[in-house]
Amino acid sequence: MTNFKAGAAEGGVVPGQRDPRAIHFENKVAPILANHCIECHDPATRKGKLDLTRRSPAFVTLKDGISIVPGNPEQSLLWEAVFHDEMPEDNDPLNKEQKATLRKWIEDGAVWPLARIDPANYVQSSGGIGEQWIQR
């Protein structure tokens, strides 16, 4: 007799389907990071010793704490800086929707499926209503 469990695999993802958290990152979070953060937090600049282009250098311990703590926005320096409008520096703060997107991403485990975020892959659409992103 074969024993198996039908339904979603561990983490709630059905085999063969992409994790919705990965899709959320690619469609919502990566464009925010690409257009509001990476100008100062790329491998060359690393302002504050933080590189937000790839997962491993983005999840680091800095002098004041950990940049991104999956599942815990309040312990994540990235969230604290964005929440208190300290970042992006020298630019307008993120709007409520962008902040909510980053918070949800961190709360949901900060899944980061991309090898690298390339800002050239994300452009803001000038047409339509609201802020729409196009991923090339």
Parse the chain into domains and list their residue ranges: 20-115
pTM of the full predicted structure?
0.79
How far is the CA of 117 from the CAs of 11, 80, 94, 96, 111, in angstroms?
24, 22, 19, 23, 13
Contacts of 58 (CB under 8 A, 6+ apart): 50, 51, 52, 67, 68, 112
What pLDDT score was predicted for residue 129?
44
Query: Tens of pLDDT along 41-53?
Result: 999 999 999 999 9
Residue indicated by tokens 């504050």: 48
Query: What is the rounded (10 degree) CA torsion for 19, 29, 59, 112?
Result: 20
Percentage of the chain surpassing pLDDT 70?
79
Q: Is the pLDDT of residue 37 over 50?
A: yes
When pLDDT is averaged across residues 93-120 and rounded to a whole number, the result is 96
